[in-house]
Structure 1
């Protein structure tokens, strides 16, 4: 495969990863609205009625109730998720400024991203247990690390191929 074709494929995959980071960040801003919507899909009409549900419906209703109460009494707590959103978007900027623009010398950013993806699982499993997050939800959180690692691994593979092609042409 030509270097141009490798670069196109690399940009496509890294672009999807960057878009995923940005979207993950943006969804941290309207949490309460998202929970209201998800609760209505699950048939929960009011946040205080979460206890009459089971499984995922209970969990979504419980989280919705917690956010409604927190928003009403302590709206500043949501500032933490605003910073979470900001962090995701800024991490995306690092991928744009480094590996997107110049893949070979910035492959280290992909490796740091892989480390961050691997760190998602212990964080979710340990901190989630401390915060009483149900195991099934912690596993959903772990999946973000796994699904984030896949495009980064593929991009590293493409970088190695581009690097091998460059050294052969030298």
Structure 2
């Protein structure tokens, strides 16, 4: 392998790196929820300039702010769940070290990530209404899966092309060999 393969590997690593950074950022932002929701309240909540343009958004942000504030003051143990959410994002990001090192041999991790991105959508659309999450917020959650799958799909396609050229990935399904 050389030349063109090196360019493909750099492209694959850039795509996977982008996905890993997104995972890490979304994970790490799960830790300071109270601080973040206080900021959202100031910028988008009731009494902010946003209320004039999007009163429904201001109401929702203020509702969330009240819930997070009360939980923080009276039930801080509830945030342990979001600590584990952050941990899960970080662990999944670590799993992508394999494809960053050897994309062809670890293409399964990329495929796992794609499956996870697809599963974001039914999770948001099923669990959201059960938890009282408004549709616009569920659609924002769904967008993480939609946006996340793009670099993974492009990386997988490049990995498959790279593997086929190198003879490392079977081009037929099991049991259909010639």
Say whether the fold is shared (TM-score over 0.5): yes
Once residues 13 and 36 of structure 2 are traced to their aligned partners in structure 1, the CA distance between those partners, rounded to angstroms, is 31
Q: Secondary structure at the match of 2:96?
A: helix
Per the TM alignment, residue 162 of structure 1 is displaced from its structure 2 partner at its CA by 0.9
SS in 1 for 2:147: helix
SS at match of 1:159: helix
Runs of 4+, deviation exceeding 4 Å: none
Alpha-carbon distance in structure 1 between the residues aligned to 2:120 and 2:18: 19
In structure 2, what is the equivalent of residue 18 of structure 1? Answer: 20
1:76-98 deviation per Cα after TM superposition (whole angstroms, max 9, x unaligned) = 111110000000000000011x1
* Equivalence for 1:32: 34
1:9 — aligned with what?
11
Mapping of residues 154-165 of structure 1, within 5 Å: 154-165=154-165
SS at 2:133 equivalent: coil
Per the alignment, residue 104 of structure 1 pairs with 104
Encode CA deviations 1:60-85: one digit per residue, 9 max, x unaligned: 11111100001111111111100000
State the match for 1:128 in structure 2: 128
Name stretches of at least 5 consecutive residues in structure 2 with no aligned partner. Answer: 169-178
SS of the residue 2:167 aligns to:
helix
Q: Does structure 1 conserve the Cα–Cα contact (< 8 Å) formed by 2:121 and 2:145?
A: yes
Q: CA shift at 1:140, angstroms?
A: 0.5
1:15-43 CA distance string (max 9 Å, x none): 00000000000000011111111111125
Count residues with an aligned counterpart.
162
- Measured in 2, the distance between the counterparts of 1:35 and 1:43 equals 10
Change (3 A) 1:66 1:43: closer
The Cα RMSD (Å) is: 1.9
Residue 72 (structure 1) aligns with = 73
Return closer, same or farther for 1:58/1:43 CA change in 2, 3 Å cut-off: closer
- 2:82 alignment counterpart: 81
**Secondary structure of 1:133's partner?**
coil
Give 1:45 deviation, angstroms.
5.8
Report the TM-score, using the length of structure 1 for normalisation. Answer: 0.90
